[in-house]
Every structure is written in structure tokens, then in C-alpha cells.
Structure 1
Amino acid sequence: MIRAGVVGASGLAGGDLIRLITQHPEMELAFLGGSSNIGRRPAELHANLRLDLGLTVQPVTEEAVADVDVLFLATPAPVSAQLSELLADKVAAIVDLSGAYRIRTPELHDRWYPKVKRTTDLADRYVYGVPELVKDQLPDARLISIPGCYATALTVSLAPLTLGLGLHLKTVVVDGKSGSSGGGLQLRTADLHPFRSGAIAPYAPTGHRHAAEVADFLERGKQGSIDSLTMSAYGVSHVRGLLTSAYVFTDEPVTQRDLQRAYTRFYKEHRFVRVRRHNETLIPVPDPQAVLGSNFCDVTALHDEEGGRIVVLAALDNLVKGAAGQAVQAANIRFGLPEETGLTMQPVMPA
């Protein structure tokens, strides 16, 4: 049995980690860490978790995690950086859900995470944890950085074009829409119900750090290339789920048949990426409501012949495939388990 610890147990991603780990047949929740809710039980922090685990939130120390095999950090990036420095060689594996180590390039990291100080040595040890793309690196990884929710959707969207077909993408323009849970539990006026309900709020219209981490990762993966990757992000009124629309411009010839075959071939061995035709169901897909509560990412690639572009759509549950579920998926591979272990739940719809 793999002994798991969750730091940041009171947050939304922390709550989903607790939910998934307690249902996992090969994991045992052995430690809950935090700072502001010391002594509280999971059931007090999360209304959906009426569990008596015999655990309460405890301060994070080397001694407290001494018997933990995998430590999940569902903490803000500055906290994750501090804890990584303290615990990197004290547990068999750390899986960090924050942005502290997602961007490898130091200058790019400093631009998007100016308050997160880290050492280059530790940053170089972290594996960027998209299981579908780095599965061979995960079994030996002691440090795994889980991509951001938008970044997961975007990486899944673009990898078949750059890593698969080896295309040179001149321009990629991304439109991203996410529910309120993407912002966590920090209180902001714009997230209050009178303002968020029914809203389409352009909170990052001229750039987003998740686009930067995707460009950084794909650049290191090479084969194809991307000259420009930009993103606009919007908050919408639902709670869970996100949709990214990537508008891709390239001078290289490509057809709808090429795209369908490339995406199907690229993800044929990866059960959590569902390559879909947008008109295959009664409602158009990808649609976030068709993946809620699951670890699936639905992706569709379309050739817009009139517009001279490729349109790639991707939908996922930002708290599962975009956070806690992907973290458990990566940990499964790290410890030699089938990656779907504990993650076979189907989406809930309507939600």
C-alpha cells in the first residue's frame, strides 16, 4: 500500500485529492498538512467528505512526513517552493500541483512567477507531469510538477501537431474559459456571486502564464515549433470545468483527414484523452459538462479551410484532469501501477 500525504488539505484541489486517494485501492491517506486549519478533520473542511479517517490537519515537518511515500502539494506556488527545498530528498516522491516548477526556463519563470524563488538545481530535477507525453520519465521521477489546468488542455491540444506531425506553427491564439473553482478559495470581489453569476469575465485578456509553460515545454520537446503562442482567459459562471479553443495558423498543408488520423494515432494508447468528432453526440463536443467529475480530457481538431487555420478544442474538469486526478495518474505511473488505478469514474452529466 502506498502511503500518501496531502498538503493544502483545506483547498479545492486538496479536497479532490482526499476524495480520490480514499477511493484508491492501492493508496492509503497517511498525512494531512496545512497551516491555517491545524487540528481540523477532512469532514469539517469539505462538506462532501463525511469521512472518519482518524486524521487531522498537521503542521508540515520532516518528522511528520517521514513515513509518507508520496507527498502531494496542493499549495500556493511560494509555499510549494519552500516545501520542496525542505523535503525534496525526504520522501520517495513529491507531486506538486502549483506553478512553482512548471516553467523550466529561469527568465520565463521569473516573468510569470516573480514572487516564487527557487534554485535552478531543484527546478531541473522536476519532471513536467503530462502523463500522456512523459510516461517514460515518471517511473524514476522523485519530483513531478503537474501542469496547470489550461496548460493540460493546451498541451494535449498542440502536442499531436508539433511532436506528432512535426509542424511549424506560425501563430497559435488561444481562447480559454474556466469555471470559478479555477481561482481557488481566495476571496476576490470579482468572484462574489452577484458579479460572477452569468458572467463572462475577461480576467486575463492579453496573456496567461499557463500558455507560457506550454510553450516552454513544447520548445524543449522539439520536432515541430511554435513561433507565437498567446492566450486570453475568461471566467464563466459555472463552477467546474474549462474549455480551450486554440486557433492555429501554419503554412504547411494539412487536411481534416490528416488531423483526425494524427490525433487518433497520437492518443490511441492513452485512455484519458478522448479524441472526438464535434458532432458525434446529441450535443456538440468537446463540452466541459461531458467530462465533469472524471479524469478525461476531450479533444477535437478541425480544419477550417476557408479561414486557413486549424481549430483545436479541448475540455476537462479543472479539479480532476486539470489538478488532483492528473496528480494521482502521475503517481500511479511513478509507483508502477496501471495509470487508471483509482481513476475509472465516468463523467457526471448533467451537472
Structure 2
Amino acid sequence: MIRAGVVGASGFAGGELIRLITQHPGLELTFLGGSSSAGRRPSELHPGLRDNRGLTVQPVTEDVADRVDVLFLATPAPVSAELSSLFADRVPAIVDLSGAFRIRTPELHDRWYPKVERRSDLADRFVYGVPELIGDRLKDAALISLPGCYATAITLGLAPLTLGLGLRLKTVVVDGKSGSSGGGVQLRTSDLHPFRAGAIAPYSPAGHRHAAEVGDFLERSRPGTIGSLSMSAYGVPNVRGLLTSSYVFTDEEVDRRELNRAYLRFYKGHPFVRVRRHDETLIPVPDPQAVLGSNYADVTVLLDEEGGRIVVLAALDNLVKGAAGQAVQVTNLRFGLPEETGLTQQPVMPA
């Protein structure tokens, strides 16, 4: 069994990690870490959980390294940077769910994460990216940085165009909509029910750091791929789930049928990415409600000939494929397990 520890056990992503790890046939939950929730059982923090495994949340000390094979950091970025420095080279694998090491370029990191000081040598060592695109780099990786939830959806949507067809995307404009769980458990006035219910809140209308990490990753993967990538983000009344709509402009000729074939070809053999026609079900898809509770991402590509653009839609559960589920997925690949181990739950709908 692979011994797993979760730091940040009281948060939404931490709760999802506990849920998935305790159902995983190859993982054993051996440590729960936190500060303000120290001494509490998982079932106290997450009402849906009842299997405490005899564990309570404990302060994070150096001896944790002797108790785990993989350490999941579901912590704020400054905390992740500090803990990664403490445990690097002391545990076989660290999987960081925060933004501490997502952006490799120092200047870009400082712009979007000005309060996150990190060791430059660690930043160069962290493997970043969605597992469908970097699976071969995860084997024996000691340090893994998960993409953000929006970034996962955007990258899965754009990769067949850039890394598959080799198109140069002149301009990409992303519209992102996410449920309230994306903001975590912090108490903010704007998240109170009287303000959030029924609202479409433009909380980041002129740029988002997840778009910055996508641009950084794609540029490093294939230089010159994207001219510009910008994003507006909105909060919607859903609790879980997000949808990204990427509007892509290119000077290269594209064919509607070839686009669809390219996406199907690119994700062949990747069980968690479902390439879909938007009109194939009772409701138009991708729709976040069709993936809730699962590690699936639904992706659709359409050609808007009159508008001169490619429209790419991607939907996922921000707490599963956008966080905890993807963390388990990379852990499976890291330790040589089948990619889908412990992650075969079907979506819950309606939810």
C-alpha cells in the first residue's frame, strides 16, 4: 500500500482527497495535517465522511516524512511553498494543489503570486501539467504541481489545437464560470448567500492567474504557439463545477470535420477526457452538471465560420478533476498504478 498524507484536511479539496483516498485500493491514509483544525476528526470537518480511520488532524512536523510515501498539499500557496521546502527530498513524492509552483517563469510568477516566496531550485524541479499531456514525465517524479481548475479545463481544450494540429493561435479569449466551492472555505461577505444566490459575479473580469499558467505551460511546451491569451472569470450560483469557453482566432485554415477528428484522435486512450458533440444528449453539453462527482472532463470543439473563430468548451468538477481527483490521477501514474485506479466513479446527475 502507498501511504498517503493530506495537509489542509479541513478544506474542500482536502475533504475530497480524504474521500477518494479512503476508497482507493492502493492508497492508505496515514496522516492528516492542519493547524486551526488540529485534534478534529475528518467526520467533524466534512459531514459526508464517516470513516475516520482512527485519524485526527495533527500539526505538521518533520517526522511526517517517515509516515508517508506521498504528501498532498491542499494548502494556500505560501504554505505549500514553505512545506515543499521542508519535505523536498524527504518523501518520495509531493503533490501540490496550490499555485505556488505552477508558473515556471519567475517574472510571471511574481506578477500573479506576489506574496508567495519560493525556492528557485524547487520551482525548476516541479513537474507541472495535466496528466493527459505530461504522463510520461510523472514516473518517478518527486515534486508535482497540479494545474488550477480553470487551467485544467482551458489546457485540455486548447492542447489538441496546439500540441496536436500544431496551429498557431493568434488570439485566445476565455470566458470562465465557476461554482462557489472554487473560492474555498474562507468567509467573505461576497460569498454570503444573500449576495451569491442567483448571482453571476464578475470577480475577475480583466485577467486571471490560471490563464497565465496556461500560457506559460503552452509556450514552454511549444514556443510561439499562442499570440495572446486573456480570460474573464465569473462566479455562478452552482456549488460545484466549472465551464470554460475559449474563443480562438487563428490565421490558419481549419476544417470542421478535421477539428472533431483531431480532438478524438488526441484524447484516444485517455479515459477521463470525453470528447463530445454539444447536441448528443438530452441537454447541451459540455455542462458541469454532467460531470459532477467524477474525474471526467467533457470537451467540445465547434467552428464558427461566420465569426471566424474556433469555440472550445470544457466542463469539469473543480473539486475532482480540477483538484483532488487529478491529484490521485497523477499519484497513480507516479507509482505505476493504472491511471483510473480509485477514480471510476460515474457522475452524479441531477445533483
Q: TM-score range by the shorter chain?
A: over 0.9
Contact 1:5–1:65 (CA under 8 A) maintained in structure 2: no
Contact 1:174–1:232 (CA under 8 A) maintained in structure 2: yes
User: Which residue number in structure 2 is paired with residue 29 of structure 1?
Assistant: 29
User: Which residue number in structure 2 is paired with residue 253 of structure 1?
Assistant: 253
> 3-state SS of the aligned residue for 2:233?
strand
Task: Work out the CA distance in 2 between the residues paired with 1:82 and 1:119.
Answer: 9
Q: Read off the aligned partner of 2:197 and give its amino acid letter.
A: S
What does the per-residue CA deviation read over 1:81-133, in whole Å, with 9 as the maximum and x for residues that have no partner? 00000001110000000000000000000000000001111001000031100
Contact 2:7–2:34 (CA under 8 A) maintained in structure 1: yes
1:65 aligns with 2:65: yes
The root-mean-square deviation of aligned C-alpha atoms, in Å, is 0.7
Q: Read off the aligned partner of 1:301 and give its amino acid letter.
A: V
Q: Read off the aligned partner of 1:313 and give its amino acid letter.
A: L
> 3-state SS of the aligned residue for 1:151?
helix
1:332 aligns with 2:332: yes
Point out where structure 2 has 5 or more consecutive residues left out of the alignment: none
User: Which residue number in structure 2 is paired with residue 155 of structure 1?
Assistant: 155
Task: Work out the CA distance in 2 between the residues paired with 1:168 and 1:296.
Answer: 27
> 3-state SS of the aligned residue for 2:281?
coil
User: Which residue number in structure 2 is paired with residue 241 of structure 1?
Assistant: 241
User: Which residue number in structure 2 is paired with residue 170 of structure 1?
Assistant: 170
Matches within 5 A, 1:228-307: 228-307=228-307
> 3-state SS of the aligned residue for 2:173?
strand
TM-score, normalized by length of structure 2? 0.99
User: Which residue number in structure 1 is paired with residue 15 of structure 2?
Assistant: 15
User: Which residue number in structure 2 is paired with residue 342 of structure 1?
Assistant: 342
Shift of 1:140: 2.0
Q: Read off the aligned partner of 1:92 and give its amino acid letter.
A: P
> 3-state SS of the aligned residue for 1:32?
strand
Contact 1:248–1:310 (CA under 8 A) maintained in structure 2: yes
Shift of 1:224: 5.8
Contact 1:161–1:224 (CA under 8 A) maintained in structure 2: no
1:118 aligns with 2:118: yes
Contact 2:43–2:50 (CA under 8 A) maintained in structure 1: yes
What does the per-residue CA deviation read over 1:272-303, in whole Å, with 9 as the maximum and x for residues that have no partner? 00000000011000000000000000000000
User: Which residue number in structure 2 is paired with residue 180 of structure 1?
Assistant: 180
Contact 1:129–1:330 (CA under 8 A) maintained in structure 2: no
Q: Read off the aligned partner of 1:140 and give its amino acid letter.
A: D
Question: Which has the higher mean CA deviation after the structures are superposed, 49-58 or 201-210?
Answer: 49-58
Task: Work out the CA distance in 2 between the residues paired with 1:294 and 1:31.
Answer: 24
Task: Work out the CA distance in 2 between the residues paired with 1:306 and 1:319.
Answer: 36
Q: Read off the aligned partner of 1:216 and give its amino acid letter.
A: D
Contact 2:40–2:57 (CA under 8 A) maintained in structure 1: yes
User: Which residue number in structure 1 is paired with residue 203 of structure 2?
Assistant: 203
Contact 1:154–1:244 (CA under 8 A) maintained in structure 2: yes
Shift of 1:223: 6.2
User: Which residue number in structure 2 is paired with residue 221 of structure 1?
Assistant: 221
Task: Work out the CA distance in 1 between the residues paired with 2:129 and 2:10.
Answer: 23
What does the per-residue CA deviation read over 1:26-49, in whole Å, with 9 as the maximum and x for residues that have no partner? 000000001111111001100000
Contact 1:163–1:224 (CA under 8 A) maintained in structure 2: no
Contact 1:163–1:223 (CA under 8 A) maintained in structure 2: no
Task: Work out the CA distance in 1 between the residues paired with 2:84 and 2:344.
Answer: 30
Task: Work out the CA distance in 2 between the residues paired with 1:86 and 1:21.
Answer: 24
Contact 1:166–1:223 (CA under 8 A) maintained in structure 2: no
Task: Work out the CA distance in 1 between the residues paired with 2:277 and 2:185.
Answer: 35
Task: Work out the CA distance in 2 between the residues paired with 1:290 and 1:260.
Answer: 20
Task: Work out the CA distance in 2 between the residues paired with 1:36 and 1:278.
Answer: 45
Q: Read off the aligned partner of 1:254 and give its amino acid letter.
A: V
Task: Work out the CA distance in 2 between the residues paired with 1:28 and 1:282.
Answer: 40
Shift of 1:66: 1.1
Question: Structure 1 residue runs of 4+, over 4 Å off?
Answer: none
Q: Read off the aligned partner of 2:213 and give its amino acid letter.
A: E
Task: Work out the CA distance in 1 between the residues paired with 2:283 and 2:79.
Answer: 42
Contact 1:166–1:224 (CA under 8 A) maintained in structure 2: no
Shift of 1:64: 2.4
User: Which residue number in structure 1 is paired with residue 105 of structure 2?
Assistant: 105
Shift of 1:51: 1.6
Task: Work out the CA distance in 2 between the residues paired with 1:241 and 1:277.
Answer: 19
What does the per-residue CA deviation read over 1:145-173, in whole Å, with 9 as the maximum and x for residues that have no partner? 00000000000001111111111111000
Task: Work out the CA distance in 1 between the residues paired with 2:258 and 2:311.
Answer: 13
Task: Work out the CA distance in 1 between the residues paired with 2:322 and 2:227.
Answer: 26
Q: Read off the aligned partner of 1:121 and give its amino acid letter.
A: D
Contact 1:2–1:27 (CA under 8 A) maintained in structure 2: yes
> 3-state SS of the aligned residue for 2:64?
coil
Question: How high is the sequence identity, in percent, across the aligned residues?
Answer: 80
Q: Read off the aligned partner of 1:128 and give its amino acid letter.
A: Y
